[in-house]
Amino acid sequence: MSPLTSVSSAPAYLPAAAVAPAASAASTASTPSSPSTSSTTSSAAALGVRPSAPALSLYSADGRLTAPAVWEQRQDDPLSARLARNLAASDTAGRWSGLGKALLDQASVSSSVYSQSVLLSATAAQGDDGVHAILRDQLHRFASQRIALTLTTNAGARIDVQLGANAEGVAVDFKVSQGSLSDEDRAAVTALGEAFDQAIQGLAGRPPTLALDKLMQFDTHQLAALDFTATLGDDLSLQLQIDGSQRSVTAHTAAGAMKVGLDATAAPVTGSAQQRQRAIASYLEQFDAAARRGQGDAGLMALFKDAFAQLHASATAPVQDHTPALLAADATDRGMLSGLGDFSASITGNSAWPNPLRRDEVDGFDYQVSQRTSLSGAGQADRSIVQQAQSRLKASYHQSLQPDLPLQLDSTRQSQNYTYHQIDDRADSQLEIGYRQGFMTQARLRQSASQDSRVSKYVLGELVSQTHTPLQAQIVRDFAAQLQDGKEARAADGAYRRSRLLDGISELGLLQSDPQRVRAHGAQWLTE
Protein backbone atom coordinates (compact mmCIF):
# COMPACT_ATOMS: atom_id res chain seq x y z
CA MET A 1 0.00 0.00 0.00
CA SER A 2 1.16 3.49 -0.57
CA PRO A 3 2.19 3.49 1.98
CA LEU A 4 -0.34 0.59 2.13
CA THR A 5 -1.15 -1.01 -1.23
CA SER A 6 -4.41 -2.82 -1.94
CA VAL A 7 -4.32 -6.57 -1.60
CA SER A 8 -7.44 -7.18 -3.70
CA SER A 9 -8.74 -5.49 -6.80
CA ALA A 10 -12.36 -6.33 -5.95
CA PRO A 11 -14.56 -3.23 -5.85
CA ALA A 12 -16.45 -2.39 -2.70
CA TYR A 13 -19.98 -3.79 -2.70
CA LEU A 14 -22.69 -1.16 -2.86
CA PRO A 15 -26.28 -2.35 -2.29
CA ALA A 16 -28.27 -2.50 -5.52
CA ALA A 17 -30.87 0.14 -6.15
CA ALA A 18 -34.23 -0.83 -4.79
CA VAL A 19 -36.64 -2.29 -7.30
CA ALA A 20 -39.30 0.28 -7.95
CA PRO A 21 -42.86 -1.02 -7.88
CA ALA A 22 -44.30 -1.33 -11.38
CA ALA A 23 -46.47 1.60 -12.28
CA SER A 24 -50.04 0.79 -13.20
CA ALA A 25 -51.05 1.88 -16.65
CA ALA A 26 -54.48 2.65 -15.30
CA SER A 27 -53.34 4.42 -12.14
CA THR A 28 -55.74 7.29 -12.69
CA ALA A 29 -58.78 5.12 -13.29
CA SER A 30 -61.61 5.33 -10.77
CA THR A 31 -62.81 2.29 -8.87
CA PRO A 32 -65.13 0.46 -11.23
CA SER A 33 -67.79 -0.37 -8.67
CA SER A 34 -68.03 2.96 -6.87
CA PRO A 35 -67.85 6.53 -8.17
CA SER A 36 -65.35 7.65 -5.55
CA THR A 37 -62.81 6.15 -3.16
CA SER A 38 -61.72 9.38 -1.50
CA SER A 39 -63.68 8.62 1.63
CA THR A 40 -63.72 5.04 2.84
CA THR A 41 -65.68 3.02 5.29
CA SER A 42 -63.82 0.98 7.87
CA SER A 43 -62.60 -2.53 7.03
CA ALA A 44 -64.61 -3.87 9.94
CA ALA A 45 -67.81 -2.51 8.47
CA ALA A 46 -66.88 -3.91 5.08
CA LEU A 47 -66.34 -7.33 6.63
CA GLY A 48 -69.43 -7.13 8.74
CA VAL A 49 -71.70 -6.80 5.71
CA ARG A 50 -71.12 -9.01 2.70
CA PRO A 51 -73.78 -8.14 0.14
CA SER A 52 -73.55 -9.57 -3.34
CA ALA A 53 -70.86 -7.56 -5.05
CA PRO A 54 -71.70 -6.13 -8.47
CA ALA A 55 -69.82 -7.77 -11.34
CA LEU A 56 -67.15 -5.68 -13.01
CA SER A 57 -66.94 -6.13 -16.77
CA LEU A 58 -63.38 -6.09 -18.08
CA TYR A 59 -62.21 -5.46 -21.61
CA SER A 60 -59.03 -6.70 -23.23
CA ALA A 61 -56.59 -4.34 -24.95
CA ASP A 62 -58.26 -4.88 -28.32
CA GLY A 63 -61.73 -4.15 -26.92
CA ARG A 64 -63.00 -7.72 -26.55
CA LEU A 65 -65.21 -8.36 -23.53
CA THR A 66 -63.55 -10.74 -21.06
CA ALA A 67 -65.04 -12.61 -18.12
CA PRO A 68 -66.60 -10.27 -15.52
CA ALA A 69 -64.80 -9.83 -12.21
CA VAL A 70 -66.50 -11.34 -9.17
CA TRP A 71 -65.57 -9.56 -5.93
CA GLU A 72 -65.60 -11.06 -2.44
CA GLN A 73 -67.07 -7.92 -0.91
CA ARG A 74 -67.78 -4.27 -1.70
CA GLN A 75 -64.95 -2.34 -3.29
CA ASP A 76 -65.27 0.82 -1.20
CA ASP A 77 -61.78 1.01 0.36
CA PRO A 78 -58.30 2.02 -0.93
CA LEU A 79 -57.01 -1.57 -1.05
CA SER A 80 -59.90 -2.70 -3.25
CA ALA A 81 -59.33 0.34 -5.43
CA ARG A 82 -55.69 -0.68 -5.88
CA LEU A 83 -56.76 -4.24 -6.76
CA ALA A 84 -59.21 -2.90 -9.33
CA ARG A 85 -56.57 -0.67 -10.96
CA ASN A 86 -54.24 -3.67 -11.32
CA LEU A 87 -56.74 -6.03 -12.96
CA ALA A 88 -55.75 -5.18 -16.52
CA ALA A 89 -52.10 -6.18 -15.86
CA SER A 90 -50.86 -9.13 -17.88
CA ASP A 91 -48.38 -10.52 -15.33
CA THR A 92 -48.01 -11.18 -11.62
CA ALA A 93 -45.79 -8.14 -11.07
CA GLY A 94 -48.51 -5.89 -12.45
CA ARG A 95 -51.30 -7.63 -10.54
CA TRP A 96 -49.36 -7.17 -7.28
CA SER A 97 -48.15 -3.62 -7.92
CA GLY A 98 -48.63 -1.48 -4.82
CA LEU A 99 -50.50 -4.17 -2.89
CA GLY A 100 -47.72 -4.68 -0.34
CA LYS A 101 -47.83 -1.09 0.81
CA ALA A 102 -51.64 -0.99 0.67
CA LEU A 103 -51.83 -4.08 2.87
CA LEU A 104 -49.44 -2.76 5.51
CA ASP A 105 -51.35 0.53 5.47
CA GLN A 106 -54.21 -1.50 6.96
CA ALA A 107 -52.29 -1.31 10.26
CA SER A 108 -53.25 2.35 10.45
CA VAL A 109 -57.00 1.61 10.58
CA SER A 110 -58.91 0.31 13.57
CA SER A 111 -59.88 -3.07 12.10
CA SER A 112 -57.72 -6.09 12.92
CA VAL A 113 -58.99 -8.22 10.01
CA TYR A 114 -59.29 -7.54 6.29
CA SER A 115 -59.99 -9.93 3.40
CA GLN A 116 -60.66 -9.25 -0.27
CA SER A 117 -60.47 -11.20 -3.52
CA VAL A 118 -61.49 -10.83 -7.11
CA LEU A 119 -62.21 -13.81 -9.36
CA LEU A 120 -61.50 -13.36 -13.04
CA SER A 121 -61.98 -16.77 -14.69
CA ALA A 122 -64.78 -17.98 -16.88
CA THR A 123 -65.48 -20.64 -14.24
CA ALA A 124 -66.17 -17.92 -11.69
CA ALA A 125 -68.28 -15.89 -14.12
CA GLN A 126 -70.50 -18.89 -14.83
CA GLY A 127 -70.61 -20.23 -11.27
CA ASP A 128 -73.01 -19.60 -8.41
CA ASP A 129 -72.26 -18.48 -4.84
CA GLY A 130 -71.16 -22.01 -3.88
CA VAL A 131 -68.63 -22.15 -6.71
CA HIS A 132 -67.40 -18.67 -5.78
CA ALA A 133 -66.86 -19.73 -2.16
CA ILE A 134 -64.75 -22.73 -3.22
CA LEU A 135 -62.67 -20.70 -5.67
CA ARG A 136 -62.08 -17.97 -3.07
CA ASP A 137 -60.99 -20.47 -0.44
CA GLN A 138 -58.50 -22.01 -2.88
CA LEU A 139 -57.24 -18.58 -3.88
CA HIS A 140 -56.74 -17.42 -0.28
CA ARG A 141 -55.11 -20.64 0.92
CA PHE A 142 -53.58 -22.51 -2.03
CA ALA A 143 -52.74 -19.99 -4.75
CA SER A 144 -49.79 -21.04 -6.91
CA GLN A 145 -48.29 -17.54 -6.52
CA ARG A 146 -48.15 -16.58 -2.83
CA ILE A 147 -46.47 -13.91 -0.72
CA ALA A 148 -46.75 -13.85 3.07
CA LEU A 149 -45.30 -11.50 5.67
CA THR A 150 -45.50 -12.03 9.43
CA LEU A 151 -44.36 -9.33 11.86
CA THR A 152 -44.16 -9.78 15.62
CA THR A 153 -44.06 -6.77 17.90
CA ASN A 154 -41.94 -6.56 21.03
CA ALA A 155 -45.21 -6.66 23.00
CA GLY A 156 -46.15 -9.98 21.37
CA ALA A 157 -48.81 -8.94 18.85
CA ARG A 158 -48.67 -10.65 15.47
CA ILE A 159 -49.44 -9.14 12.06
CA ASP A 160 -50.10 -11.56 9.16
CA VAL A 161 -50.28 -10.32 5.58
CA GLN A 162 -50.88 -12.50 2.52
CA LEU A 163 -51.19 -12.08 -1.23
CA GLY A 164 -52.25 -14.84 -3.58
CA ALA A 165 -52.68 -15.09 -7.34
CA ASN A 166 -53.43 -17.79 -9.87
CA ALA A 167 -55.48 -18.28 -13.02
CA GLU A 168 -58.66 -17.67 -11.00
CA GLY A 169 -57.75 -14.21 -9.71
CA VAL A 170 -56.10 -12.29 -6.86
CA ALA A 171 -56.64 -12.39 -3.08
CA VAL A 172 -55.29 -10.36 -0.13
CA ASP A 173 -55.51 -10.82 3.64
CA PHE A 174 -54.51 -8.76 6.69
CA LYS A 175 -54.87 -9.91 10.30
CA VAL A 176 -53.69 -8.81 13.74
CA SER A 177 -53.74 -11.47 16.47
CA GLN A 178 -52.26 -12.28 19.90
CA GLY A 179 -52.65 -8.71 21.06
CA SER A 180 -53.23 -5.21 19.78
CA LEU A 181 -51.05 -2.59 18.12
CA SER A 182 -49.91 0.61 19.77
CA ASP A 183 -49.61 3.79 17.76
CA GLU A 184 -45.84 3.21 17.62
CA ASP A 185 -46.38 -0.35 16.38
CA ARG A 186 -48.70 0.89 13.64
CA ALA A 187 -46.12 3.44 12.52
CA ALA A 188 -43.38 0.78 12.42
CA VAL A 189 -45.56 -1.55 10.34
CA THR A 190 -46.74 1.03 7.81
CA ALA A 191 -43.17 2.33 7.45
CA LEU A 192 -42.28 -1.00 5.79
CA GLY A 193 -44.83 -0.56 3.00
CA GLU A 194 -42.45 0.59 0.27
CA ALA A 195 -39.86 -2.04 1.28
CA PHE A 196 -42.53 -4.77 1.12
CA ASP A 197 -43.52 -3.62 -2.36
CA GLN A 198 -39.89 -3.64 -3.51
CA ALA A 199 -39.40 -7.20 -2.24
CA ILE A 200 -42.56 -8.35 -4.05
CA GLN A 201 -41.68 -6.66 -7.33
CA GLY A 202 -38.16 -8.08 -7.27
CA LEU A 203 -39.42 -11.65 -6.90
CA ALA A 204 -42.22 -11.19 -9.44
CA GLY A 205 -39.76 -9.97 -12.08
CA ARG A 206 -38.33 -12.05 -14.90
CA PRO A 207 -35.87 -13.27 -13.87
CA PRO A 208 -36.69 -12.96 -10.17
CA THR A 209 -34.26 -10.90 -8.07
CA LEU A 210 -33.90 -10.25 -4.37
CA ALA A 211 -34.67 -6.76 -3.07
CA LEU A 212 -34.87 -7.54 0.65
CA ASP A 213 -32.38 -5.09 2.12
CA LYS A 214 -34.91 -2.37 2.96
CA LEU A 215 -37.31 -4.93 4.43
CA MET A 216 -34.55 -6.10 6.78
CA GLN A 217 -34.14 -2.60 8.20
CA PHE A 218 -37.29 -2.61 10.30
CA ASP A 219 -37.72 -0.69 13.56
CA THR A 220 -36.31 -3.04 16.22
CA HIS A 221 -37.60 -0.77 18.98
CA GLN A 222 -41.13 -1.88 18.05
CA LEU A 223 -40.75 -5.10 16.04
CA ALA A 224 -39.05 -8.23 17.37
CA ALA A 225 -39.23 -10.56 14.36
CA LEU A 226 -39.97 -10.70 10.65
CA ASP A 227 -40.85 -13.73 8.51
CA PHE A 228 -41.25 -13.21 4.74
CA THR A 229 -42.10 -16.13 2.45
CA ALA A 230 -42.75 -16.35 -1.28
CA THR A 231 -43.86 -19.21 -3.51
CA LEU A 232 -43.89 -18.59 -7.26
CA GLY A 233 -45.23 -21.85 -8.63
CA ASP A 234 -42.51 -24.42 -9.19
CA ASP A 235 -39.95 -21.78 -10.16
CA LEU A 236 -39.01 -20.37 -6.77
CA SER A 237 -39.76 -20.62 -3.07
CA LEU A 238 -38.03 -18.28 -0.64
CA GLN A 239 -38.01 -17.42 3.05
CA LEU A 240 -36.44 -14.51 4.94
CA GLN A 241 -36.34 -14.88 8.73
CA ILE A 242 -35.09 -12.29 11.22
CA ASP A 243 -35.37 -12.66 14.98
CA GLY A 244 -33.21 -12.54 18.09
CA SER A 245 -31.11 -15.53 17.07
CA GLN A 246 -30.77 -15.37 13.30
CA ARG A 247 -31.01 -13.47 10.03
CA SER A 248 -31.38 -15.94 7.17
CA VAL A 249 -32.52 -16.31 3.57
CA THR A 250 -33.40 -19.73 2.16
CA ALA A 251 -34.41 -20.38 -1.45
CA HIS A 252 -35.30 -23.36 -3.62
CA THR A 253 -35.44 -23.26 -7.42
CA ALA A 254 -35.66 -25.83 -10.18
CA ALA A 255 -31.84 -25.76 -10.27
CA GLY A 256 -31.19 -26.39 -6.55
CA ALA A 257 -31.20 -24.73 -3.14
CA MET A 258 -29.27 -22.07 -1.25
CA LYS A 259 -29.16 -20.68 2.27
CA VAL A 260 -27.36 -17.75 3.87
CA GLY A 261 -27.56 -17.27 7.63
CA LEU A 262 -26.08 -14.73 10.05
CA ASP A 263 -25.66 -15.74 13.67
CA ALA A 264 -27.18 -13.01 15.84
CA THR A 265 -26.03 -14.75 19.03
CA ALA A 266 -22.33 -14.61 18.13
CA ALA A 267 -19.84 -12.11 19.53
CA PRO A 268 -20.44 -8.60 18.13
CA VAL A 269 -17.53 -8.15 15.72
CA THR A 270 -19.17 -6.19 12.88
CA GLY A 271 -16.75 -3.58 11.55
CA SER A 272 -17.02 -0.30 9.68
CA ALA A 273 -19.12 0.16 6.56
CA GLN A 274 -15.93 0.26 4.50
CA GLN A 275 -14.76 -3.06 5.94
CA ARG A 276 -18.12 -4.70 5.28
CA GLN A 277 -18.31 -3.43 1.70
CA ARG A 278 -14.79 -4.64 0.96
CA ALA A 279 -15.41 -8.06 2.51
CA ILE A 280 -18.74 -8.46 0.69
CA ALA A 281 -17.10 -7.56 -2.64
CA SER A 282 -14.29 -10.05 -1.99
CA TYR A 283 -16.72 -12.87 -1.23
CA LEU A 284 -18.92 -12.09 -4.25
CA GLU A 285 -15.84 -12.30 -6.45
CA GLN A 286 -15.03 -15.72 -5.02
CA PHE A 287 -18.62 -16.92 -5.46
CA ASP A 288 -18.39 -16.04 -9.15
CA ALA A 289 -15.08 -17.88 -9.40
CA ALA A 290 -16.59 -20.97 -7.75
CA ALA A 291 -19.56 -20.90 -10.14
CA ARG A 292 -17.23 -20.70 -13.15
CA ARG A 293 -14.89 -23.40 -11.88
CA GLY A 294 -17.66 -25.81 -10.89
CA GLN A 295 -20.19 -24.94 -13.61
CA GLY A 296 -22.81 -23.82 -11.07
CA ASP A 297 -26.23 -22.57 -12.14
CA ALA A 298 -26.05 -18.84 -12.89
CA GLY A 299 -29.59 -18.02 -11.73
CA LEU A 300 -29.26 -19.79 -8.39
CA MET A 301 -25.84 -18.22 -7.82
CA ALA A 302 -27.31 -14.76 -8.52
CA LEU A 303 -29.91 -15.29 -5.76
CA PHE A 304 -27.16 -16.57 -3.44
CA LYS A 305 -25.03 -13.49 -4.03
CA ASP A 306 -27.98 -11.14 -3.53
CA ALA A 307 -28.92 -12.84 -0.26
CA PHE A 308 -25.33 -12.74 1.04
CA ALA A 309 -24.78 -9.10 0.12
CA GLN A 310 -28.12 -7.82 1.39
CA LEU A 311 -28.02 -9.70 4.69
CA HIS A 312 -24.54 -8.42 5.50
CA ALA A 313 -25.11 -4.89 4.21
CA SER A 314 -28.17 -4.50 6.43
CA ALA A 315 -26.55 -6.05 9.51
CA THR A 316 -24.94 -2.92 10.92
CA ALA A 317 -25.10 -4.46 14.40
CA PRO A 318 -26.14 -7.80 15.87
CA VAL A 319 -29.81 -8.18 16.73
CA GLN A 320 -28.80 -9.03 20.30
CA ASP A 321 -25.55 -8.61 22.19
CA HIS A 322 -24.78 -11.73 24.21
CA THR A 323 -21.09 -10.97 24.90
CA PRO A 324 -20.22 -10.33 28.55
CA ALA A 325 -19.39 -6.68 29.13
CA LEU A 326 -15.97 -7.56 30.57
CA LEU A 327 -14.87 -9.44 27.44
CA ALA A 328 -15.28 -7.82 24.00
CA ALA A 329 -13.36 -6.92 20.85
CA ASP A 330 -12.13 -3.34 21.02
CA ALA A 331 -11.55 -0.90 18.15
CA THR A 332 -8.07 -2.30 17.39
CA ASP A 333 -9.38 -5.86 17.26
CA ARG A 334 -12.32 -4.93 15.05
CA GLY A 335 -9.97 -3.04 12.74
CA MET A 336 -8.07 -6.28 12.02
CA LEU A 337 -11.10 -8.58 11.63
CA SER A 338 -13.08 -9.08 8.43
CA GLY A 339 -15.81 -6.56 9.33
CA LEU A 340 -18.58 -9.12 8.80
CA GLY A 341 -20.69 -10.78 11.43
CA ASP A 342 -20.40 -14.56 11.73
CA PHE A 343 -22.27 -16.49 9.06
CA SER A 344 -22.73 -19.79 7.29
CA ALA A 345 -23.83 -20.12 3.67
CA SER A 346 -24.34 -22.93 1.19
CA ILE A 347 -25.51 -23.45 -2.36
CA THR A 348 -26.26 -26.89 -3.77
CA GLY A 349 -27.28 -27.69 -7.32
CA ASN A 350 -29.56 -30.59 -8.15
CA SER A 351 -27.62 -33.70 -9.09
CA ALA A 352 -27.94 -35.22 -12.58
CA TRP A 353 -26.77 -38.44 -14.25
CA PRO A 354 -26.59 -37.49 -17.95
CA ASN A 355 -24.59 -40.48 -19.17
CA PRO A 356 -26.64 -43.70 -19.37
CA LEU A 357 -23.46 -45.74 -19.95
CA ARG A 358 -21.63 -44.43 -16.87
CA ARG A 359 -24.06 -43.97 -14.02
CA ASP A 360 -21.19 -43.35 -11.60
CA GLU A 361 -20.53 -39.99 -13.30
CA VAL A 362 -22.64 -37.38 -11.55
CA ASP A 363 -23.13 -33.73 -12.42
CA GLY A 364 -23.29 -31.76 -9.18
CA PHE A 365 -22.32 -28.52 -7.48
CA ASP A 366 -21.92 -27.95 -3.75
CA TYR A 367 -20.33 -24.84 -2.24
CA GLN A 368 -20.15 -23.98 1.45
CA VAL A 369 -18.59 -21.00 3.17
CA SER A 370 -18.61 -19.78 6.77
CA GLN A 371 -17.04 -17.51 9.36
CA ARG A 372 -16.88 -18.04 13.09
CA THR A 373 -15.39 -15.78 15.78
CA SER A 374 -14.64 -16.78 19.35
CA LEU A 375 -13.62 -14.66 22.37
CA SER A 376 -12.05 -16.18 25.46
CA GLY A 377 -9.88 -15.25 28.42
CA ALA A 378 -9.96 -14.34 32.09
CA GLY A 379 -10.76 -10.70 31.32
CA GLN A 380 -10.38 -7.88 28.84
CA ALA A 381 -6.66 -7.47 29.58
CA ASP A 382 -6.01 -11.18 28.89
CA ARG A 383 -8.40 -11.85 26.03
CA SER A 384 -7.92 -14.02 22.97
CA ILE A 385 -9.84 -13.64 19.74
CA VAL A 386 -9.91 -16.19 16.93
CA GLN A 387 -11.74 -15.51 13.68
CA GLN A 388 -11.80 -18.37 11.18
CA ALA A 389 -13.31 -18.40 7.69
CA GLN A 390 -13.55 -21.54 5.55
CA SER A 391 -14.89 -22.57 2.15
CA ARG A 392 -15.30 -25.86 0.30
CA LEU A 393 -16.26 -26.49 -3.33
CA LYS A 394 -17.11 -29.95 -4.62
CA ALA A 395 -18.34 -30.10 -8.17
CA SER A 396 -18.43 -32.40 -11.18
CA TYR A 397 -19.68 -31.95 -14.72
CA HIS A 398 -19.48 -33.23 -18.31
CA GLN A 399 -18.20 -31.19 -21.24
CA SER A 400 -18.28 -31.79 -24.97
CA LEU A 401 -14.98 -32.24 -26.77
CA GLN A 402 -16.21 -29.72 -29.33
CA PRO A 403 -17.23 -26.44 -27.69
CA ASP A 404 -19.55 -25.52 -30.58
CA LEU A 405 -21.54 -28.77 -30.28
CA PRO A 406 -23.85 -29.44 -27.32
CA LEU A 407 -23.24 -32.63 -25.40
CA GLN A 408 -25.98 -35.22 -25.98
CA LEU A 409 -25.02 -38.44 -24.23
CA ASP A 410 -26.98 -41.57 -25.01
CA SER A 411 -26.32 -45.30 -25.22
CA THR A 412 -24.41 -45.11 -28.53
CA ARG A 413 -20.61 -45.01 -28.76
CA GLN A 414 -20.81 -42.09 -31.18
CA SER A 415 -22.23 -39.86 -28.42
CA GLN A 416 -19.48 -40.74 -25.93
CA ASN A 417 -17.00 -37.98 -26.76
CA TYR A 418 -16.52 -35.79 -23.72
CA THR A 419 -14.47 -34.84 -20.70
CA TYR A 420 -15.63 -35.46 -17.14
CA HIS A 421 -14.39 -32.92 -14.57
CA GLN A 422 -14.16 -33.38 -10.80
CA ILE A 423 -13.35 -30.38 -8.60
CA ASP A 424 -12.45 -30.37 -4.90
CA ASP A 425 -11.28 -27.01 -3.52
CA ARG A 426 -10.72 -25.84 0.07
CA ALA A 427 -9.73 -22.54 1.64
CA ASP A 428 -9.07 -21.45 5.22
CA SER A 429 -8.12 -18.15 6.84
CA GLN A 430 -7.60 -17.76 10.59
CA LEU A 431 -6.63 -14.62 12.48
CA GLU A 432 -5.55 -15.05 16.11
CA ILE A 433 -5.28 -11.99 18.36
CA GLY A 434 -3.97 -12.33 21.91
CA TYR A 435 -3.29 -10.04 24.90
CA ARG A 436 -1.54 -10.53 28.22
CA GLN A 437 -1.92 -7.89 30.92
CA GLY A 438 -3.21 -5.47 28.31
CA PHE A 439 -0.29 -5.88 25.89
CA MET A 440 -0.73 -7.49 22.49
CA THR A 441 1.23 -10.72 22.28
CA GLN A 442 0.10 -12.00 18.90
CA ALA A 443 -1.73 -10.98 15.74
CA ARG A 444 -1.11 -14.12 13.71
CA LEU A 445 -2.65 -14.85 10.30
CA ARG A 446 -2.77 -18.40 8.93
CA GLN A 447 -4.05 -18.85 5.39
CA SER A 448 -4.25 -21.81 3.07
CA ALA A 449 -5.95 -22.69 -0.21
CA SER A 450 -5.95 -25.83 -2.33
CA GLN A 451 -7.49 -26.59 -5.71
CA ASP A 452 -7.75 -30.17 -6.92
CA SER A 453 -8.93 -30.93 -10.45
CA ARG A 454 -9.31 -34.32 -12.15
CA VAL A 455 -10.27 -34.60 -15.83
CA SER A 456 -11.10 -37.84 -17.63
CA LYS A 457 -11.29 -37.74 -21.43
CA TYR A 458 -13.40 -40.19 -23.44
CA VAL A 459 -13.43 -40.74 -27.21
CA LEU A 460 -16.09 -43.07 -28.60
CA GLY A 461 -16.64 -44.32 -25.07
CA GLU A 462 -13.00 -45.23 -24.47
CA LEU A 463 -10.95 -43.56 -21.74
CA VAL A 464 -7.97 -42.01 -23.52
CA SER A 465 -6.47 -39.81 -20.78
CA GLN A 466 -6.70 -38.74 -17.16
CA THR A 467 -5.11 -35.64 -15.67
CA HIS A 468 -4.78 -34.61 -12.03
CA THR A 469 -3.85 -31.00 -11.21
CA PRO A 470 -3.34 -30.21 -7.52
CA LEU A 471 -2.48 -26.64 -6.48
CA GLN A 472 -1.95 -25.45 -2.93
CA ALA A 473 -0.40 -22.66 -0.90
CA GLN A 474 -0.24 -21.68 2.75
CA ILE A 475 1.23 -18.82 4.75
CA VAL A 476 1.70 -17.85 8.41
CA ARG A 477 2.33 -14.23 9.38
CA ASP A 478 2.40 -12.42 12.72
CA PHE A 479 1.90 -8.65 12.87
CA ALA A 480 2.22 -8.26 16.65
CA ALA A 481 5.75 -6.81 16.54
CA GLN A 482 4.77 -4.30 13.87
CA LEU A 483 1.77 -3.24 15.96
CA GLN A 484 3.81 -3.05 19.18
CA ASP A 485 6.74 -0.89 18.15
CA GLY A 486 4.65 2.29 18.42
CA LYS A 487 6.35 3.98 15.46
CA GLU A 488 3.06 5.33 14.14
CA ALA A 489 2.23 6.82 17.56
CA ARG A 490 5.33 9.02 17.34
CA ALA A 491 4.38 10.41 13.94
CA ALA A 492 2.25 13.51 13.50
CA ASP A 493 -0.34 11.45 11.58
CA GLY A 494 0.05 8.48 13.93
CA ALA A 495 -3.64 7.64 14.35
CA TYR A 496 -4.18 7.65 10.60
CA ARG A 497 -1.12 5.46 9.95
CA ARG A 498 -2.17 2.93 12.58
CA SER A 499 -5.65 2.82 11.09
CA ARG A 500 -4.12 2.08 7.68
CA LEU A 501 -2.05 -0.73 9.17
CA LEU A 502 -5.07 -2.35 10.84
CA ASP A 503 -7.05 -1.94 7.62
CA GLY A 504 -4.29 -3.68 5.69
CA ILE A 505 -4.30 -6.64 8.08
CA SER A 506 -8.09 -6.86 7.77
CA GLU A 507 -7.92 -6.94 3.96
CA LEU A 508 -5.04 -9.41 3.95
CA GLY A 509 -6.94 -11.75 6.27
CA LEU A 510 -10.04 -12.09 4.09
CA LEU A 511 -10.66 -15.66 2.93
CA GLN A 512 -8.96 -16.37 -0.38
CA SER A 513 -9.64 -19.54 -2.41
CA ASP A 514 -6.98 -18.97 -5.09
CA PRO A 515 -3.61 -20.51 -4.08
CA GLN A 516 -1.70 -17.96 -6.18
CA ARG A 517 -3.27 -15.07 -4.26
CA VAL A 518 -2.54 -16.74 -0.93
CA ARG A 519 1.08 -17.08 -1.99
CA ALA A 520 1.11 -13.39 -2.92
CA HIS A 521 -0.28 -12.52 0.53
CA GLY A 522 2.79 -14.10 2.04
CA ALA A 523 5.01 -11.58 0.28
CA GLN A 524 2.77 -8.53 0.80
CA TRP A 525 4.49 -6.03 3.08
CA LEU A 526 2.29 -3.78 5.17
CA THR A 527 3.70 -0.39 6.12
CA GLU A 528 2.25 2.31 8.29
So what's the pLDDT on residue 489?
Answer: 55
> Quick one: residue 251, left, alpha or beta (phi over 0 = left, psi -120 to 50 = alpha)?
beta
So what's the pLDDT on residue 50?
Answer: 39
Three-state SS annotation for 252-296 = EECCEEEEEEEECCCCCCCCCHHHHHHHHHHHHHHHHHHHHHHCC
Distance CA 407, CA 402 (A): 9
So what's the pLDDT on residue 425?
Answer: 98
For residues 119 and 140, is the Cβ–Cβ distance under 8 A? no
For residues 159 and 189, is the Cβ–Cβ distance under 8 A? yes
Residue ranges for the chain with pLDDT beneath 50:
1-65, 317-324
- Note the pLDDT tens digit of each residue in 405-452: 999 999 999 999 999 999 999 999 999 999 999 999 999 999 999 999
So what's the pLDDT on residue 62?
Answer: 44
User: Residues 6 or more apart from 423 whose CB is under 8 A from it?
Assistant: 293, 294, 393, 394, 395, 396, 451, 452, 453
So what's the pLDDT on residue 25?
Answer: 37
Q: What is the pTM of this model?
A: 0.83
| φ, ψ at 70 (rounded to 5°) | -115, 115
For residues 181 and 107, is the Cβ–Cβ distance under 8 A? yes
So what's the pLDDT on residue 244?
Answer: 86
- Using DSSP bridges, classify how beta strands 418-436 and 439-459 pair: parallel, antiparallel or unpaired: antiparallel
So what's the pLDDT on residue 76?
Answer: 86
Distance CA 297, CA 345 (A): 16
For Cα atoms 238, 236, 16, give the angle at the middle one, nearest 5 degrees.
65
User: Would you kindly state where each structural domain of the chain is located, as residue ranges?
Assistant: 58-244, 263-318+327-527
Three-state SS annotation for 75-106 = CCCHHHHHHHHHCCCCCHHHHCCCHHHHHHHH
So what's the pLDDT on residue 246?
Answer: 87
User: Residues 6 or more apart from 45 whose CB is under 8 A from it?
Assistant: none
For residues 158 and 88, is the Cβ–Cβ distance under 8 A? no
For residues 308 and 300, is the Cβ–Cβ distance under 8 A? no
Distance CA 253, CA 238 (A): 9
So what's the pLDDT on residue 525?
Answer: 64
- Note the pLDDT tens digit of each residue in 71-92: 998 888 899 999 999 988 888 8
So what's the pLDDT on residue 194?
Answer: 96
For residues 431 and 496, is the Cβ–Cβ distance under 8 A? no
